[in-house]
Structure 1
């Protein structure tokens, strides 16, 4: 990875050679070997090395990806936080956030300046829509990078600051037991729609012992909510799912299955079903 204008000025490469298929543009002025797989981390590395102001750091969704629990794709813009506006990183490939970044909120990860896990969660809660922020903070909790008491203490120290109320809303919805992003999205959708907060990863037993652990549950009404990913369509998995469903029903549980299409495109109907099921079970 190298800075094109600097390499040309040093006589290491010509402008024509730089346009050849041998090189891949990562961001304005920065190139890499075309055979190098492009990941979000590679693009973060390019920004950190060539386009980040002194005192700045990778932040938000990019920091989450560098720290581990993030979900950024290679083509997603790189997010940074800088103490003052900086013209070098004003490109379509970089999202600039201007904010104070005390040294205690910074760490080094594989040679790159990155906001700490706690600061990253704070920024995600302030910058993203509530559901998107909860998805990522859930992953921080699940991975053990932060704990709920640490989040609460961090928020308490910043009470009254811009974005504190948003972060409090996110903190009230996070749950470190969530095992997938879509499970988090489903749980938040139910709560924001006014339904009771469901139990997460609830274990169900019958007289013979353990039956199943369901994604979400309302134990008082024996209602289970399961998010079915694509892998559930596998023939062997479908057979196991049906045996599991039969045992749950025999134990008196009503199971409502949710697919990605349903969650994305048919949420009002799903909410009606759940409200109806709760009314009957009550």
Structure 2
């Protein structure tokens, strides 16, 4: 059956591109492959772990999440689980509950970590990766897509926020090549400054090349607001 990142893609949670090999799962002990274009994973599974989508046998969303936790780095696994949860294909409390009977079995710690880090509020894979890296660095868990209001009226929505301290982080993606979007975001930032929020911006380049520098700034911002 189709599994892992490939199964997530069939659930419309983008995770692979057309030229990448297909993840498949076969029963433990079954002789299979190697086959060009396939990444073959072996494992035990129950009939309840299998479903059909467009006539294709694949792992259920919950089983897919558990496999992703074992097969991918934590950041990547959480980013895909976030997308599945955001699209309501998997409920995070149910995912966590499905892991409890597996405590002590192979991979249960990685499954637990990914499930605990997952957040259905995340709206993009880069935001998910940023949040995971922040939390794994020991920073308190932020609120995703936090809405700021004034007198019951919408002011702005923030990628990651620590509402009590009025500190936020915004991920600046490639869409900022669009001048109109850039100006809309900056007007939103100005409104937030009027609400006494401290907003830190992270570009893809800085996340990739200077995350430690950004993390130091975030910690300082949170400390300054905690006094």
Q: What range describes the TM-score normalised by the shorter chain of this pair?
A: over 0.9
| Aligned partner (choices 127, 142, 147) of residue 183 of structure 1 | 127
Q: Which has the larger radius of gyration?
A: 1
Aligned residues: 226
- Matched residues in 2 for 1:213 and 1:146: separation? 24
8 A Cα contact 1:178 1:201, kept in partner: yes
| Aligned partner (choices 208, 214, 217) of residue 161 of structure 2 | 217
What is the Cα deviation at residue 261 of structure 1?
1.1
Equivalence for 1:138: 82
8 A Cα contact 1:225 1:257, kept in partner: yes
Q: TM-score, normalised by structure 2?
A: 0.94
Decide whether aligned partners of structure 1 residues 208 and 127 sit closer, same or farther in structure 2, where only a CA change above 3 A counts: closer
Greater relative contact order (Cα < 8 A, sep 6+): 2
Other structure's SS at 2:121 match: coil
8 A Cα contact 1:141 1:148, kept in partner: yes
Decide whether aligned partners of structure 1 residues 236 and 70 sit closer, same or farther in structure 2, where only a CA change above 3 A counts: closer
Gaps of 5+ in 2: none
Equivalence for 2:220: 276
Query: Is the aligned partner of 1:100 residue 2:44?
Result: yes
What is the Cα deviation at residue 208 of structure 1?
7.6
- Matched residues in 2 for 1:129 and 1:112: separation? 27
Across the aligned residues of Structure 1 and Structure 2, the Cα RMSD in angstroms comes to 1.5
- Matched residues in 2 for 1:162 and 1:249: separation? 48
Equivalence for 1:78: 22
What is the Cα deviation at residue 158 of structure 1?
2.2
Q: TM-score, normalised by structure 1?
A: 0.76
Decide whether aligned partners of structure 1 residues 92 and 263 sit closer, same or farther in structure 2, where only a CA change above 3 A counts: farther
Other structure's SS at 1:162 match: coil
- Matched residues in 1 for 2:69 and 2:52: separation? 22
Equivalence for 2:191: 247
8 A Cα contact 2:86 2:120, kept in partner: yes
What is the Cα deviation at residue 149 of structure 1?
2.2
- Matched residues in 1 for 2:11 and 2:109: separation? 25
Other structure's SS at 2:196 match: coil
| Aligned partner (choices 202, 206, 210) of residue 150 of structure 2 | 206
**Comparing 163-172 and 93-102, the one that deviates more:** 93-102
Q: Deviations over 1:142-188 (max 9, x none)?
A: 00111122102211232222111110011110000101111101100
- Matched residues in 2 for 1:127 and 1:238: separation? 37
What is the Cα deviation at residue 206 of structure 1?
2.9
Equivalence for 2:93: 149
8 A Cα contact 2:51 2:59, kept in partner: yes
Gaps of 5+ in 1: 1-56
